């Protein structure tokens, strides 16, 4: 399994999205686990440090900040980082296309739709669709079913 979890939180550490693809490796409480990730990422120098950081013996974090939100993927140590960075960017682009100039408020009030987008892109810790056009079309069809 490549992706262990996907998180999204704002600059103050308020979690907006979380999806786990594997059990909590350390046995720590979930909230403490997320708080540790937030402290690690928020303390980094975004101008002089990369978007990749080792988190534990088995997990490294790939993250990117968009406006006031951090999107974070926890991946296996053996995986290549740039590809997950591109996955994060694709996810954000799809959200932006789906919602039309997406903002944090859209994610808060349409969290179920955001999880729908996430589940269309990622399944069991692996990316399953990389075409933005295909994703957007599928999502609009799914949205109409509501």
* Residue 97 binds another protein, judged by CB under 8 A: no
* Residue 146 binds another protein, judged by CB under 8 A: yes
Residue among 68 and 82 whose Cβ is closer to another protein: 68
In this structure, the dihedral spanned by the alpha carbons of residues 125, 129, 133 and 136, taken in order and rounded to 10 degrees, is -40
**x-marked contacts with another protein along 60-79 as a string, rule CB under 8 A:** -----xxxx-----------
Nearest residue to 76 via CA among 105, 55, 48: 55
Q: How far is CA 41 from CA 1, 10, 100, in A?
A: 23, 11, 28
Residue ranges with strand state E in the chain: 3-10, 15-20, 52-54, 59-66, 69-76, 122-123, 126-127
Choices 55-63, 81-89, 102-110, 125-133; region in contact with another protein by CB under 8 A = 102-110
3-state SS assignment for residue 33: helix
Phi, psi of 43 (to 5 degrees): -90, -5
Q: How far is the CB of 95 from another protein (least distance, A)?
A: 13
**x-marked contacts with another protein along 9-48 as a string, rule CB under 8 A:** -xxxx----------------------------xx-----
* Residue 50 binds another protein, judged by CB under 8 A: no
Q: Which residues in this chain contact another protein in the complex, by CB under 8 A?
A: 10-13, 42-43, 65-68, 103-105, 108-109, 144, 146
């Amino acid at each position: 399994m490549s992706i262990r979890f996907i998180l999204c939180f704002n600059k103050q550490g308020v979690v907006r999205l979380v999806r786990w693809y594997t059990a909590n490796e350390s046995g720590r409480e979930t909230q403490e686990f997320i708080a540790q990730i937030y402290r690690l990422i928020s303390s980094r120098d975004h101008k002089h440090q990369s978007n990749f950081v080792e988190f534990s013996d088995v997990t490294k974090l790939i993250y990117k900040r968009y406006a006031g939100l951090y999107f974070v993927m926890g991946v296996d140590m053996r995986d290549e980082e740039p590809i997950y960075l591109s996955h994060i960017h694709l996810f954000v682009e799809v959200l932006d296309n789906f919602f039309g100039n997406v903002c944090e408020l859209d994610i808060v009030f349409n969290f179920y739709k955001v999880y729908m987008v996430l589940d269309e892109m990622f399944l069991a810790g692996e990316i399953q669709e990389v075409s933005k056009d295909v994703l957007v079309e599928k999502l609009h069809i799914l949205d109409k079913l509501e």
